Amino acid sequence: MTAAKTVADFDPADPANFAFWTEERLRYADLDPLSHVNNNAIGEFLENGRVGLFRASGGDGGADGNVWWVVRRLEIDFAREILFPGIVRTGTRVAKLGTTSCTIRQGVFVDGECRVTSTTIGVCFDPVGRKSVPIPLEIRGLLASHQP
């Protein structure tokens, strides 16, 4: 018997694996001394993708202001340099949903070619109680719906 394929089993370097996208125009200010787009700018592309996905899922403070996300872990793999000028597209999707956390996988693409991949563990957080909380069911369903 073959093991069932889990949601986490996908290649983030393949743009076909993403349904949620954000787009950024590269700025001259994004460059490092070698004229590469610097790692700080790439971190912003990834953050904008994650925040966009959470906002689209109702989890950006929510209607009652009690559903927030914090980053517990962030891994970034730089596959190829990104050069100015241009447009970058960041694909973002949930790879795994836990009780209080989710794993987000992302790919940053230039002209359809993957330049960066990332894995982030985000934790659903109560800013008043200063602790992790279960992901609300309605947000869980919306997060899951952003898969291809």
Distance from C-alpha of 145 to C-alpha of 141, rounded to nearest angstrom: 6
CATH of 15-145, one of 3.10.20.30, 3.10.129.10, 3.30.930.10, 1.10.3720.10: 3.10.129.10
Q: Is the pLDDT of residue 87 over 70?
A: yes
As a whole number, mean pLDDT of residues 61-84 equals 85
As a whole number, mean pLDDT of residues 13-31 equals 96
Domain positions in the chain are: 15-145
Instruction: Please list, residue by residue across 21-44, b when 16 or more beta carbons sit within 10 angstroms of its beta carbon and e when fewer do.
Output: ebebebeeebbeeeebbbeebbee
Beta bridge partners of 65: none
pLDDT number for residue 82? 98
Q: Tell which residue, 82, 97, 89, 4, has the closest CA to residue 39.
A: 82
Radius of gyration of the chain (CA): 16
Name, in order, each residue with C-beta under 8 angstroms of 109's C-beta and a sequence gap of 6 or more.
Answer: 15, 88, 89, 90, 91, 115
Name, in order, each residue with C-beta under 8 angstroms of 144's C-beta and a sequence gap of 6 or more.
Answer: 94, 97
Rounding to the nearest 10 degrees, give the CA dihedral for residues 147, 131, 117, 109: 60
Least confident of 41-50, 56-65, 138-147: 56-65
Q: Which amino acid is at 21?
A: W
